[in-house]
Each structure stands twice: as C-alpha cells, then as structure tokens.
Amino acid sequence: MNLVRVCDDECKGCAICVSVCPKGCLAMSGELNAKGYEYVSFIENSPCTACGLCFLSCPEPSALTVCRIKEES
C-alpha cells in the first residue's frame, strides 16, 4: 500500500494535486489549516500507485510526500 503524506500547514488548497491524481486518492479535507486554507487529504485505502504526479504538480515544495511502501513477501 502506498500513500501520500500531506503537511496540512504547508498546503494552500489549490487542489492541483487532486485534479492530476489518476486514481482519485486525494480530496479536499473540508477543514482549514492554521493559515486559513482548506487543505488536501489522502483518502485512506485508496489505490495509490506512488506515481508522484501530485508531488510534481504541487507549487508548495514541502506540502506533499509520496511514500512507496514495499510489501513483504
């Protein structure tokens, strides 16, 4: 299972990452961060492929971290 970690206080709610995610793994949270922006959240158990499109499209360099988790066999 892969995931995207969102730093709530760095996100400015532009939603570019939400629009570029091919699997629909990100959504607007409906909550405001300390700066007053509605931030993005990762949808738990979504089919994230860790493609990195969200990270590459984000204008805030420290807002998103894409984590590829290797499954043990």
Residue 64 CA to residue 54 CA, distance in Å, equals 8
55: domain CATH number? 3.30.70.20
Inside any domain, residue 19:
yes
pLDDT of residue 73: 67
Inside any domain, residue 17:
yes
pTM of the model: 0.91
Inside any domain, residue 42:
yes
Overall number of domains in the chain: 1
Inside any domain, residue 41:
yes
pLDDT in tens, 49-65: 999 999 999 999 899 99
Domain span holding position 30: 3-67
Q: For residue 5, count CB atoms less than 10 angstroms from its CB and return exposed for 0-12, middle for 13-18, buried for 19 or more.
A: exposed
Contact call for residues 41 and 3 (beta carbons, < 8 A): no
pLDDT of residue 1: 87
Inside any domain, residue 73:
no
